[in-house]
Structure 1
Amino acid sequence: MGVMGDKIAKPAKLAKLAKKATPRVAVCFDSFKGCVGAEEASRQVAAALCEAGYEAWALPMADGGEGTARVLTLAGVRQPAVDMALKAGLGNREGTSRARVMEASTFELGRMLARMSGSEGEILLGVGGSATCDGGMGLLAALGARLRFRGAEVSRPAAKDLANLQEIDLSGVKAPRVRMLVDVRAPLTGAEGAALRFSPQKGATPQQAEWLDGALRHYASVAARCIGCSAEELMAMPGGGAGGGIVVAGRLLGWQREWGAEYVIRQWLPQLQQADVIITGEGRTDESSAAGKVPFALLEAARRLGKPVILLSGCVRVPQGSGLLDGFAAVRGVSPLNASREDMTAAATVPRLKAAALHELLGLFGC
């Protein structure tokens, strides 16, 4: 049984904070996908708290998925930042869609990065929200790698070509320096990997997901020969399944990888240090959120800073007794049970977030 609707869960008893003349609150929402973005949710709730007499500021969050580049700009990061979803995401203008996961390619993303190869310093690449499952083959081809396939020559590799890959030659690659901000810790293959866990969300049928998992295993064996490691190492690499396996291509190119939520949190650290309490949340919090998603990454950072964290998500689906929520000062799912489409709009969700934030702060501060 999970924590749902308007039910409040306080797994850990927290003594009320001493009253302060003006309590300081950092509002740090991730996006509520399909409902309200991180920036809007954080700004509107912070504004409501200021009207109620708190000192509050909006620190929008992201984990490497769609919207990460915008959040980094808001946080004052001057390095160029790109969302993978811009060129290889569901519904982007290059035409990838849920019905075409086998045809989807990271080629256009590679072309964009190739044009940025003259950039000074490092490019930040948000790896998440992709429609692809090509292991980054398209990216490699666009950056100048020579990929040899059985049968006909392939100029724009996609997921359907994975099983025919025979060789990767990186000698002609011209690529910028990139730091990949990874949104999930999933491996490349297996039950929690790019194909079996995530490709159904991109439109793959069960049969296609099984085929893709086997094809990615083959891809790992070819890629491993290219850099002199074992296929098992690539298949099990934490985060290797992010972005449809593009992290493996990044490994071949020598790109750095980092957990996206942790990177974003570091950019806001001075502001977080000034807060008395942190409010965070996302569209849905469940057991998978503990694997590097914003609320739990923030909880870990707040623990080091000695700050309490309030979790306000659209819905919370965590089994009772799991202990996953024990570190939060308060937990609330703001959407009603059996929420309708109208219940999941920004116009419906933001007022609930405001009311929930005020309610929980009253419980902590008594004011």
Structure 2
Amino acid sequence: MPSPFHVVVAPDKFKGSLTAGEVATTIAAAFEDGFLDAFTGTARSRGVDVEGAVALETTVLPVADGGEGTVEAALRSAGFSAVTAVVPGPTGEPVEATFARDGDTAVVEMAQASGLDRLPGGTPAPLTATTRGTGELVRAALDAGARHVVLAVGGSASTDGGAGLLTALGGRLLDAAGRDLPDGGAALLDLDRVDLSGLDPRVRQVRWTLAADVDNPLLGERGAAAVFGPQKGATPDDVALLDTALTRFADALAAGTGLDARDTPGAGAAGGVGLVALGLLGATRRPGVEVVLDLAGWSHRTRQASLVITGEGSFDEQSLGGKTPVGVAAAAARIPAPVVVLSGRRALAEERWRAAGFAQARALTDVEPDVGTCVREARRLLGALARDLGAQYGAEHAARAGAAGARG
């Protein structure tokens, strides 16, 4: 009797088409169909008795890289519970945001409160967008009993250095006349001093993890404004203004606390939220996908894996910088198990993705060249890819079972 083939399905979202959970369930169901059909047919053709055999075991673990979808991954893969709160969005309008909680651990996803997708009408607000809502979501997590806060910071709409986060937690940013500054990165140009006398005391008692892949400093040509500002609608003049404003914020924080994290790798993450997280809060920065995999119990749930399938919408050079597929491949190398990536599009040469640890890389555009069709019909096309992959591994598993039987 052949031992079961154990496949682990651990993809990220296909942005604009499918959530990570939808990607994972689509792959798992189609792979199973293809695998079992091919396994049974090949086994019978070789005279292998598989009647009653459990041929396939599947573990479904939707994951994320610290950006949008991190809370969903914690809920679906790690068994966390959802907690919802109404907080200010990036331009101040109330939004309903969710964090994930398990015991004293909370996963707070910045995109839920302060993300690009939360901008009214999708209109960028590079100078005024705030992280205040993220801070209020953190405060809600503290109220719920969190003593370990995972701050997942991808997909933010703001470049305020975490100023809104800080004020929501009780800090005050004051101008020379002692007035509180308005929200947004541009307002920091008028910052005179930081008052932390009202800071929520719980923030000193909490363990903080900053789930962020980028190692950018706060300022300069690799800083928050220069690198990420244009993605949030900032013009070249806006970038220069924001870099100056963030410099003033970093100076004021350093003067008020004696802590200066502006050059710390990751301080520029998410419009500079890393400055407050790494400096004032004392967070430890870790790649987002590693955090999610740890929360999901990757090491014990994948110990017997025969194959790992991961994926994301666009498999390209950015993927190699620490996105979900590469993080999953690194984790799978410790099992070890081969890794296949299924994506919407693939923009990497074969030698590049093989060097990154992938046995195969398949894309929807291999089946349907029109990208628009791939976006609209992602579920159908992904199912076709996964079914074909399942048929390949089902036939191979039955062939190995037949060879083992012959040797016996």
TM-score, reference length from structure 1: 0.83
Contact preservation (8 Å) 1:141, 1:155: no
Specify the alignment match of 1:246 in structure 2: 273
Equivalent of 2:214, from 175, 180, 184? 184
Specify the alignment match of 1:276 in structure 2: 306
Distance 1:319 1:192, change over 3 A: farther
Specify the alignment match of 1:76 in structure 2: 79
Aligned-pair CA distance for 1:36? 0.8
Identity fraction in percent? 34
Aligned-pair CA distance for 1:224? 2.9
Contact preservation (8 Å) 2:303, 2:335: yes
Distance 1:126 1:96, change over 3 A: farther
Contact preservation (8 Å) 1:194, 1:242: yes
Specify the alignment match of 1:357 in structure 2: 386
Contact preservation (8 Å) 2:31, 2:388: no
Specify the alignment match of 1:38 in structure 2: 20
Aligned-pair CA distance for 1:246? 1.0
SS at match of 1:140: helix
1 CA distance for matches of 2:141 and 2:122? 26
Contact preservation (8 Å) 1:127, 1:183: no
Specify the alignment match of 1:164 in structure 2: 190
Contact preservation (8 Å) 1:314, 1:334: yes
1 CA distance for matches of 2:29 and 2:11? 14
2 CA distance for matches of 1:49 and 1:355? 9
Which protein, 1 or 2, shows the higher relative CO under an 8 Å CA cutoff with sep ≥ 6? Answer: 1
More helix by share: 2
Contact preservation (8 Å) 1:310, 1:328: yes
Contact preservation (8 Å) 2:339, 2:359: yes
1 CA distance for matches of 2:121 and 2:218? 21
Q: Cα RMSD (Å) of the superposition? A: 2.7
1:251-266 correspondence to structure 2 within 5 Å: 251=278, 252-266=280-294
Matched, 1:303 2:305: no
Distance 1:165 1:81, change over 3 A: same
> Which of these two proteins has the greater Rg computed from alpha carbons?
2
1 CA distance for matches of 2:140 and 2:303? 38
Give ranges in structure 1 of 5+ residues lacking alignment: 1-18
Give ranges in structure 2 of 5+ residues lacking alignment: 37-55, 81-101, 397-408
Distance 1:229 1:173, change over 3 A: closer
Contact preservation (8 Å) 1:335, 1:344: no
Aligned-pair CA distance for 1:294? 1.0
1:285-300 correspondence to structure 2 within 5 Å: 285-300=315-330
Aligned-pair CA distance for 1:155? 4.5
The one-letter code matched in structure 2 to 1:311 is V
Matched, 1:62 2:73: no
2 CA distance for matches of 1:162 and 1:338? 47
Specify the alignment match of 2:199 in structure 1: 173
Aligned-pair CA distance for 1:308? 0.9
